[in-house]
Amino acid sequence: MNALYLAQDPTLADFGKDPWWLVVGKVLFAFVFAVLATLLGVWFERRVVGYMQVRPGPNQVGPFGLLQTLADGLKMAFKEDILPRTADKVVYFFAPTISVICAVTALSVVPFGPMVSIFGHWTPLQVTDVSVAVLVLLACSSMGIYGIVLGGWASGSTYPLLGGLRSSAQMISYEVAMGLSIVAVFMTAGTMSTSGIVAAQGDGTQLSIFGTEIPAPGWYAILLLPSFIIFFIATVGETNRAPFDLPEAESELVAGFMTEYSSLKFALFMLSEYVSMVTMSAVTTTLFLGGWRAPWPITLWEGANSGWWPMLWFFGKVILLVFVFVWLRGTLPRLRYDQFMRLGWKVLLPINLVWILVLSGLRSIEDWDTKGRLTAVGIAAGVLLIATLFWPTRRPQPKPSVQEQVDSRPHGSFPLPPMDLQVPPSPRITRVVAEREPANIAAGSDSREV
């Protein structure tokens, strides 16, 4: 009975019943997880990128260089804290803390595991959960950008201001794509509760094709593949990670919004970036990768989703996504600003809208009989095929040749150099040579005409 209870998914009714010391313990656990994940995340990124670039990375301070990040943090704490003369002191001071607080707060609604027993109390491995928990995640993600925007504005300098403006444009562009990609999750799971979304991915989905029931995976990363890809791209944009690290582009903005920051304030901005990366990896795991549930073939073991084992699967998925973040940074160059905006508004947004429309149509015909579903899908496919065949294309105009461009120049234009890059002989030189008279030099029998 206990094993069965431990394997149960928590519901909204299971929250709000913990004693105060257990609530404090869960909050501390989430905070310690964020801090340790940041320290290890910096070390992990430097080691992985070093391996990709055929260099060792940090390996001297502590075993395998694990204490290098801690040493760097202590070094930052003892550096001089410089305050720009033209800065807005209050906003300048609180901007880094806004980013950190929002990133850590998002972990409060992320489920780390199922119901477990902690000192005799049955409780879910989650700080709290509400019926609109995913909206809380979106709110924390959006509010975290305000720390960057305010930090860039309050610095009183040009480059930080440009970095803050870029960050605000990023937030507007990719928050829309992120929100629309989660709509597909709502439609499929039927709930906005994070624990409910994890529970909805626990059982495999049965697909009916031509009257035949075919089992399919329950993870939304497979069932809702377009939404998963768009959500992850938007996540990279929201966390200002490469190749979307435009607010802190050192090639044209020195260090972007962090240019005028030093000491612990600079460390807080770095901390917020890595906490956001870990938090969004945990959110992606919850919404699309089954949360704390074990992947196949581990699920063949009956106790895989019971007790404390699910925390291991959850952390493994988070580490895998963090590795993808690092992998992107080590392989892709930074996008230009216009390319970045074009990707968000002209690529991700239209694809997301079309995908939601298709998914809504498929959900609306689930209760139809087989013949009706085939007819609806066939009509939709036919309309799509006809639209594709007869869609007007913008054929590029034929480019005029070089001679046509020269002939079309107006009268009185500046002279052009030769188009074949070969300089013809000067007619004056030819005339001078023709008019020259032979010179006879009397030098004995060896005289000759020169």
Residue-wise pLDDT tens digits, 41-52: 889 999 999 999
Average pLDDT over residues 260-267: 85
228 sits in which H/E element: helix 225-238
Q: How many other C-beta atoms are found inside a 10 Å radius of the C-beta of residue 55?
A: 9
Sign for the pseudo-dihedral over CA of 335, 145, 77, 55: negative
Token pair for 230:
């768009």
Q: What is the pLDDT of residue 35?
A: 86
Whether the full predicted model's pTM is greater than 0.85, yes or no, is no
Q: What is the pLDDT of residue 441?
A: 59
Q: What is the pLDDT of residue 376?
A: 75
Q: What is the pLDDT of residue 3?
A: 45
Give φ, ψ of 277 to 5 degrees.
-65, -45
The CA angle 312-316-320, to the nearest 5 degrees, is 175
Banded pLDDT at 440 (limits 50, 70, 90) = low
Cβ contacts of residue 133 below 8 Å, gap of 6+? Answer: 109, 192, 193, 194, 195
Q: Which of 10, 18, 195 is nearest to 119 (CA)?
A: 18
Residue type for position 318? V
Q: Which of 117, 128, 110, 177 is nearest to 345 (CA)?
A: 177
Q: What is the pLDDT of residue 381?
A: 78
Percent of the chain with pLDDT over 90: 16
Q: What is the pLDDT of residues 4-17, one digit of tens each?
A: 444 577 888 888 88
Q: What is the pLDDT of residues 363-383, one digit of tens each?
A: 777 777 667 767 777 887 788
Q: Which residues pair with 449 in a beta bridge?
A: 440
Q: Is the pLDDT of residue 166 over 90?
A: no
Banded pLDDT at 392 (limits 50, 70, 90) = confident
Sign for the pseudo-dihedral over CA of 13, 18, 24, 26: negative
Distance CA 133, CA 135 (A): 5
Q: What is the pLDDT of residue 147?
A: 84
Per DSSP, which regions of 86-143 are E strands? 115-118, 121-124
Token pair for 382:
């036919």
Interstrand relation of 121-124 and 115-118 (parallel, antiparallel or unpaired): antiparallel
Q: How many other C-beta atoms are found inside a 10 Å radius of the C-beta of residue 429?
A: 9
Q: Which residue has the tokens 């707060």?
A: 105
Q: Which residue has the higher pLDDT, 439 or 162?
A: 162
Average pLDDT over residues 233-254: 83
Q: What is the pLDDT of residue 261?
A: 86
Q: Is the pLDDT of residue 444 over 60?
A: no
Distances (CA, A) of 27 to 14, 34, 437: 17, 11, 106
- Average model confidence (pLDDT) across the chain: 82
306, 7 Cβ separation under 8 angstroms: yes
61-75, 96-110, 260-274, 431-445: segment of lowest average pLDDT: 431-445
Q: Which residue has the tokens 């697909």?
A: 207
Banded pLDDT at 315 (limits 50, 70, 90) = very high
Q: What is the pLDDT of residue 371?
A: 72
Q: Is the pLDDT of residue 340 over 80?
A: yes
Q: What is the pLDDT of residue 1?
A: 40
Residue 122 burial class via C-beta count within 10 angstroms: exposed 0-12, middle 13-18, buried 19 and up: middle
25-29, 99-103, 345-349, 370-374: segment of lowest average pLDDT: 370-374
Q: What is the pLDDT of residue 325?
A: 93
Q: Which residue has the higher pLDDT, 269 or 371?
A: 269
144, 98 Cβ separation under 8 angstroms: yes
Q: What is the DSSP string of 270-318?
A: HHHHHHHHHHHHHHHHHHHS-TTSPPTTGGGSTTTTSTTHHHHHHHHHH
Sign for the pseudo-dihedral over CA of 320, 324, 325, 327: positive
Banded pLDDT at 448 (limits 50, 70, 90) = low
Q: What is the pLDDT of residue 287?
A: 93
The CA angle 163-166-171, to the nearest 5 degrees, is 125
Average pLDDT over residues 336-346: 87
Average pLDDT over residues 402-406: 77
Q: Is the pLDDT of residue 306 over 90?
A: no
